[in-house]
């Protein structure tokens, strides 16, 4: 993971590397979400995960567009942070038996994912603007807006219902 396929010398290199990082992360999320959909008991939580799986697939398509716009091959690089967040989610899912507590645990894990994505997309938008790629920035902003909206929905669901049911 610490070995980059190409040395990062410029802000442009860093932009491309970060794009590859989030591309890998989004692809890992599409693999993790079906298990969470499967295990979710609360219908709203299940539906929320289902919706976000569709959004995530769309986000991957947008990222592929940004690679193309920036003249770069579509490629991912291992994101140790996302691997770690998802590994931890898997672990806790295996450790919790109570259905309601499991919902609260998966919701919390999903928020950790969203927060990671928000930081990455925030950085990517800023880098793109700095590099004079307002066109790339506006595509990345669409993903950022979806992640923020998902995080907000998860917070509302946790506070209005899921945490209470788990208590």
Binding mask 61-80 for Fe ion (x = CB under 5 A): --------------------
Name which of 126, 106, 116 is nearest 147 in CA terms: 116
Q: 99-130 and 134-157 helices cross at what angle (nearest 10)?
A: 160
CA atoms of 84 and 75, how far apart (whole Å): 20
Report d(CA 125, CA 135) in Å as an integer.
Answer: 10
Residue 59 in contact with Fe ion, rule: CB under 5 A: yes
What residues numbered 25-54 form the site for Fe ion, per CB under 5 A?
26
**Shortest distance, CB of residue 97 to Fe ion, whole angstroms?**
27
Choose one: 76-84, 85-93, 143-151, 156-164; the region binding Fe ion (CB under 5 A).
143-151
Least CB distance from residue 163 to Fe ion, whole Å?
Answer: 20
**35, 61, 28: which is closest to 50 by C-alpha?**
35
18 lines the binding site for Fe ion (CB under 5 A): no
Task: Give least dist CB 89 to Fe ion, A.
Answer: 13
Q: How far is the CB of 144 from Fe ion (least distance, A)?
A: 9
Provide the minimum distance between the beta carbon of 101 and Fe ion in the complex, in angstroms, as a whole number: 23
Site for Fe ion (CB under 5 A): which residue of 21, 103, 117, 141?
117
Does 147 help bind Fe ion (rule: CB under 5 A)?
yes
Which residue bears the tokens 């899912």? 93
Instruction: Check the CA dihedral 120-59-10-130 and report its sign.
Output: negative
- Is 111 exposed, middle or buried (CB count within 10 Å of its CB: 0-12, 13-18, 19+)? middle
Site residue total, Fe ion (CB under 5 A): 5
Binding site for Fe ion (CB under 5 A): 26, 56, 59, 117, 147
């Amino acid at each position: 993971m610490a070995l980059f396929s190409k040395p990062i010398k410029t802000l442009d290199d860093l932009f491309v590397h970060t794009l590859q990082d989030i591309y890998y992360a989004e692809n890992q999320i599409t693999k993790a979400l079906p298990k969470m959909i499967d295990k979710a008991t609360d219908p709203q939580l299940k539906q929320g995960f289902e919706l976000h799986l569709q959004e995530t697939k769309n986000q991957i398509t947008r990222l592929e567009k940004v690679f193309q716009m920036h003249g770069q091959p579509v490629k991912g690089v291992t994101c140790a942070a996302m691997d770690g967040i998802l590994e931890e989610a898997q672990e806790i899912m295996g450790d919790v038996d109570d259905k309601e507590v499991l919902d609260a645990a998966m919701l919390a894990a999903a928020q950790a994912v969203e927060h990671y994505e928000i930081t990455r997309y925030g950085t990517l938008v800023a880098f793109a603007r700095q590099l004079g790629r307002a066109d790339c920035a506006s595509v990345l902003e669409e993903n950022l807006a979806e992640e923020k909206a998902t995080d907000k929905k998860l917070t509302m669901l946790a506070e209005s219902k899921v945490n209470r049911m788990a208590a």
